[in-house]
C-alpha cells in the first residue's frame, strides 16, 4: 500500500454494497458486449440496411461502455496506477465515441423519420393492393359463377327448363332461402307466380302489375332491394323470432313477347318484363354485396337471351310442324290430283276409243258410198255426212288433245306440207256451213306466202277451223275474210307477250293470219275470258250460240307450242271481231324438194290405186268396226278374211296372207307376239298393222315394242287406207300412225 497514491476513502467500504456493484457491473458489461454481437448478426442478415457505419459506431460505443464497467470492477478496492490509467483511457475513448455518435445522429434522424414515412406509405399501398386483390378475386369469383350459370342456363332451349335451372343455380350459388319468378299473364295486367325454388307458395298466385314496387323494379336497370313485406316478396311464411332476410328484385326482359301469349300490356315502357325475386336466409345477418347484385343482373340478362333463343326455337318448331302439315296436305292433294288426272285420262282414253269406233264405221262406209254411182242429190248428202263426221272426229281429237296439252305430253308432228292447200281446204270446209247463214267467206293469200313449209299441218288446220268456225258461229250476216301473210319480225314488236319472243332467222318465218267477221262483236273486257275452257261471255249468251267451248283454249295452247301468239280484237258490241294469230313455220330444205309429198300429180310417181287379190286378215271383235274395215279393203280389191278373235286369226293365217289388220283392244299385242313366234322368218310373216282409236304415244310405243309394222288411227277413209297399203307394200313397214 506504500506505493499507492490513491486518496483515502471518506467512508468505509460496505462489503454488501461492494458485492452488488460487482454483480451489476458484471451484468452491465455482459449486456454491453452482447449487444454488438446482435448488431453484427443484424447487419450480416440485413443486406439492404443503409447505415452500417452508424451501427459500427454504436457497436464501438457499447463495447467501450461495457469495457468501462468491466474495468470498474477493479476500482472499488485499492488499485494500482495502471488500473487508473486503463480506466481513464477507456472513459476518454468512450466519451469520444459517444460524442461522435451523438453528432452523427443529428444528421441521421431526419432520414430515419423519412424512412418511417415511406414505411407508412408502403403500408397504406399494401393495404390498398390487398383491397384491390380482394375485389379482383371477388370479380373472378363472380365471373366464374356467371359462366357456370350461363352454361347451365344455355344447356337447353326449353323455356321451362331454362327458368327452373336459373332459380336452382342462383339459389345454390348465392345460398338463397327462396328465389321466384313472376311472369305476366295473358291479359298483361297481372304478374303470376310461375316458378319458385322451394315451392312453398302455390304456383299461380297473382299480383296487380300497377303496384309501385313493380313499377320501381321495371323502371330500373339494376337489381334493387325491396321490402320483405312487399306482395312480390312474400315467398315464405314468416315464423320464429328471426327477421326476414334481405330481398332484391330484378326485371327480366321478354324479347319475344308473342311466345308468352300476352294480349295487352300497360304503358309502362316499350318493353315487356318478367320479375325475378331473390331472398337471403332469415336466420343470418347477411346483406347483399355489390358483386352479388351484379351477378344477379348479369344472370337476368342471360336469362332474357336464353328465353329469346328458346322462343325462336319454338317459333321455328311451330313453323316446321306447320310446314310438315302443309306438305302432308299438299302431298295428299297432289296424289288426289294425280288420281283425278289418271282417272280423267283413262276416261278420255276409253271414250276416245269408243267414240272413234263408230266414227270409223261412219266415215269408212260414207267414203265407200261416195265412190259409188250416186245422183247429185245423194252425193251431196253423202259428202255432208262425211264432212260432218270429220268435224265430229276433230272435236273428239280436241277433247283428247286438251288433256295431253295440260299434262305436257303433246308434241308437234313436224313435216313438210302445202300451206296454200291447208287454207283452201279450210275455205272449202267452211263455205257450205257459211252459205246456210248467207255469209260470204273470202280467202286472201299474200303473193310472197311460201307454198311448202315445215310444221304441224294437222294442228295448224285445227287452229284455222276453230278460229274460222267461231267467226261463222257468232255471225248472223255479213262476211268473213281470211288473210294470211308473212309477218316481219320488226312489225311484231307490238304483239310481244311474256311468252312470245320472235327472233329473225333464215330457216323459219312467222305466219300471221287474220280472220275478220262482221258479227255482233265482243265487249273488250270480256275478251280475256274467250281463251278459258267452256267460257261464255255475256253478249254471247244473248245470241243462243253457246260459248267458245274448248276451241280457243286449245288454239291458244297449239299456238304456244308453235312459238306464236294469239289475240282477239273488237271495238265493242255490234262492231265485229278480228281474230289474229302468229305461228312459227320452217322453210323446207332444198335437197328435199323433189321428195315433197304434195308435188303436182304430173311429177308424182304412179301409185297403185287398187290391190286385186291381196290377201289380208281383219281381226276385230267389234262387228261394226270389222265390217267397215272389210268394206274399205274389199273396195280396194283385197281378198279379206274377217275374224273376231286371236285364236281364230292364228288358225286361218298362212304365208299367203300379206297383211293382218288387228284391233289392239282385242288382244292385239298378244296376237302380234304369237305371229312372230309362228313365222320365224320375216319374209314369211304377214305385215302386222294395228287399227286403234287411241292417239297417245304409249299405244304407238307398245305396238312397236311387240313388233308391229304400222299403226292406223281410227277413223279410216278409203283414201287413207289406200295410202297405208301403198306405203306398207312399198317399204314393208309403216313408220308412224296414219
65 is in an annotated binding site: yes
Is 676 annotated to bind a ligand? Reply is no
DSSP-derived secondary structure for 547-568: --TTHHHHHHHHHHHTT-EEEE
- Please tell me whether 130 is known to bind a ligand: no
CA distances from 311 to 26, 160, 185 (A): 94, 11, 17
Q: What grid cell was written down for 65?
A: 461502455
Q: Please tell me the distance from the alpha carbon of residue 629 to that of residue 640, in angstroms, as a whole number.
A: 10
Question: Which DSSP state fits 446?
Answer: -
Phi, psi angle pair for 116, to nearest 5°: -65, -40
Q: How many angstroms separate the CA atoms of 530 and 628, rounded?
A: 39
Provide the grid cell at 353. 276409243
Q: Residue 576: how many CB atoms within 10 A of its CB?
A: 22
Other CB atoms closer than 10 Å to residue 579's CB: what's the count?
Answer: 24
State how far the Cα of 262 lies from the Cα of 255, in Å rounded to an integer: 12
With CA atoms as reference, report the closest residue to 420 among 394, 457, 391, 387.
Answer: 457
Q: Any binding-site annotation on 471?
A: yes
Q: Are 555 and 466 in contact (CB under 8 A)?
A: yes
If one counts every other C-beta atom within 10 angstroms of the C-beta of residue 86, the result is 17
Distances (CA, A) of 623 to 134, 230, 704: 112, 102, 26
- Tracing cell 343455380 back to the chain, one arrives at 169
H or E element that contains 424:
helix 419-436
* Residue 552, annotated as binding a ligand: yes
Query: Was 13 annotated as part of a binding site?
Result: no
Side-chain-facing half-sphere of 527: CA atoms under 13 Å? 18
Q: Is 548 annotated as a binding residue?
A: yes
Q: Is 201 annotated as a binding residue?
A: no
For 34, the grid coordinates are 452482447
| Nearest alpha carbon to residue 559 among 531, 587, 534, 539 | 531
Per the annotation, binding residues are: 65, 69, 470-473, 517, 533, 548, 552
Per the annotation, binding residues for Cu cation are: 65, 69
Per the annotation, binding residues for ADP are: 470-473, 517, 533, 548, 552
Amino acid at each position: 500500500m506504500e506505493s499507492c497514491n490513491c486518496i483515502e476513502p471518506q467512508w468505509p467500504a460496505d462489503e454488501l454494497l461492494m458485492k452488488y456493484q460487482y454483480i451489476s457491473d458484471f451484468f452491465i458489461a455482459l449486456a454491453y458486449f452482447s449487444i454488438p454481437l446482435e448488431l453484427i448478426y443484424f447487419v450480416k442478415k440485413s443486406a439492404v440496411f443503409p447505415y452500417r457505419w452508424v451501427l459500427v459506431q454504436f457497436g464501438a460505443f457499447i463495447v467501450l461502455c461495457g469495457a468501462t464497467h468491466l474495468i470498474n470492477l477493479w476500482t472499488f478496492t485499492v488499485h494500482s496506477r495502471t488500473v487508473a490509467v486503463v480506466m481513464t483511457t477507456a472513459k476518454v475513448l468512450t466519451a469520444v465515441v459517444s460524442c461522435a455518435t451523438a453528432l452523427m445522429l443529428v444528421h441521421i434522424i431526419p432520414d430515419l423519420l423519412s424512412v418511417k414515412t415511406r414505411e407508412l406509405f408502403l403500408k397504406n399501398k399494401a393495404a390498398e393492393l390487398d383491397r384491390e386483390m380482394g375485389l379482383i378475386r371477388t370479380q373472378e369469383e363472380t365471373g366464374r359463377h356467371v359462366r357456370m350459370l350461363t352454361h347451365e342456363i344455355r344447356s337447353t332451349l326449353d323455356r321451362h327448363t331454362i327458368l327452373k335451372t336459373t332459380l336452382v343455380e342462383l339459389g345454390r350459388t348465392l345460398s338463397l332461402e327462396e328465389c321466384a319468378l313472376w311472369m305476366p299473364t295473358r291479359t298483361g295486367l297481372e304478374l303470376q307466380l310461375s316458378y319458385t325454388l322451394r315451392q312453398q307458395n302455390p304456383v299461380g298466385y297473382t299480383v296487380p302489375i300497377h303496384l309501385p314496387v313493380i313499377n320501381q323494379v321495371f323502371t330500373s336497370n339494376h337489381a334493387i332491394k325491396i321490402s320483405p313485406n312487399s306482395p312480390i316478396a312474400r315467398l315464405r311464411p314468416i315464423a320464429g323470432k328471426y327477421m326476414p332476410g334481405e330481398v332484391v328484385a330484378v326485371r327480366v326482359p321478354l324479347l319475344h313477347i308473342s311466345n308468352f301469349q300476352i294480349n295487352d300490356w300497360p304503358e309502362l315502357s316499350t318493353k315487356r318484363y318478367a320479375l325475378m325475386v331473390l331472398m337471403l336466409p332469415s336466420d343470418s345477418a347477411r346483406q347483399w354485396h355489390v358483386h352479388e347484385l351484379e351477378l344477379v343482373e348479369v344472370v337476368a340478362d342471360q336469362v332474357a337471351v336464353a328465353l329469346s333463343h328458346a322462343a325462336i326455337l319454338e317459333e321455328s318448331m311451330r313453323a316446321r310442324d306447320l310446314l310438315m302439315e302443309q306438305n302432308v296436305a299438299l302431298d295428299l292433294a297432289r296424289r288426289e290430283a294425280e288420281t283425278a288426272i289418271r282417272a280423267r285420262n283413262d276416261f278420255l282414253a276409253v271414250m276416245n276409243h269408243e267414240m272413234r269406233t263408230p266414227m270409223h264405221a261412219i266415215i269408212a262406209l260414207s267414203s265407200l258410198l261416195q265412190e259409188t254411182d250416186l245422183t247429185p242429190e245423194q252425193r251431196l248428202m253423202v259428202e255432208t255426212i262425211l264432212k260432218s263426221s270429220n268435224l265430229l272426229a276433230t272435236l273428239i281429237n280436241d277433247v283428247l288433245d286438251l288433256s295431253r296439252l295440260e299434262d305436257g305430253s303433246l308434241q308437234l308432228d313436224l313435216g313438210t306440207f302445202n300451206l296454200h292447200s291447208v287454207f283452201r281446204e279450210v275455205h272449202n270446209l267452211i263455205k257450205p256451213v257459211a252459205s246456210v247463214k248467207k255469209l260470204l267467206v273470202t280467202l286472201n293469200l299474200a303473193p310472197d306466202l311460201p307454198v311448202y313449209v315445215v310444221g304441224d299441218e294437222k294442228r295448224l288446220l285445227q287452229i284455222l277451223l276453230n278460229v274460222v268456225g267461231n267467226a261463222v258461229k257468232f255471225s248472223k250476216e255479213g262476211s268473213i275474210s281470211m288473210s294470211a301473210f308473212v309477218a316481219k319480225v320488226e312489225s311484231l314488236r307490238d304483239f310481244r307477250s311474256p311468252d312470245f319472243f320472235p327472233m329473225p332467222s333464215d330457216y323459219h318465218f312467222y305466219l300471221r293470219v287474220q280472220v275478220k267477221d262482221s258479227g255482233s262483236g265482243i265487249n273488250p273486257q270480256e275478251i280475256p275470258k274467250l281463251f278459258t275452257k267452256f267460257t261464255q261471255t255475256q253478249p254471247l249468251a244473248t245470241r243462243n250460240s253457246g260459248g267458245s267451248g274448248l276451241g280457243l283454249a286449245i288454239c291458244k295452247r297449239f299456238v304456244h307450242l308453235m312459238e306464236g301468239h294469239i289475240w282477239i280484237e273488237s271495238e265493242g258490241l255490234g262492231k265485229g271481231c278480228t281474230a289474229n294469230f302468229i305461228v312459227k313455220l320452217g322453210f323446207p330444205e332444198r335437197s328435199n324438194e323433189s321428195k315433197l309429198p304434195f308435188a303436182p300429180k304430173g311429177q308424182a310417181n304412179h301409185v297403185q290405186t287398187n290391190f286385186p287379190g291381196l290377201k289380208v286378215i281383219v281381226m276385230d271383235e267389234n262387228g261394226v268396226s270389222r265390217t267397215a274395215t272389210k268394206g274399205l279393203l274389199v273396195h280396194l280389191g283385197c281378198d279379206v278374211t274377217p275374224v273376231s278373235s286371236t285364236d281364230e286369226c292364228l288358225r286361218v293365217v298362212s304365208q299367203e296372207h300379206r297383211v293382218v289388220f288387228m284391233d289392239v283392244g282385242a288382244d292385239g299385242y298378244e296376237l302380234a307376239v304369237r305371229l312372230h313366234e309362228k313365222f320365224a322368218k320375216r319374209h314369211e310373216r304377214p305385215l302386222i298393222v294395228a287399227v286403234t282409236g287411241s292417239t297417245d304415244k304409249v299405244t304407238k310405243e307398245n305396238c312397236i315394242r311387240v313388233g308391229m309394222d304400222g299403226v292406223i288411227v281410227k277413223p279410216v277413209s278409203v283414201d287413207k287406207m289406200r295410202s297405208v297399203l301403198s306405203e306398207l307394200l312399198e317399204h314393208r313397214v309403216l313408220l308412224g300412225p296414219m
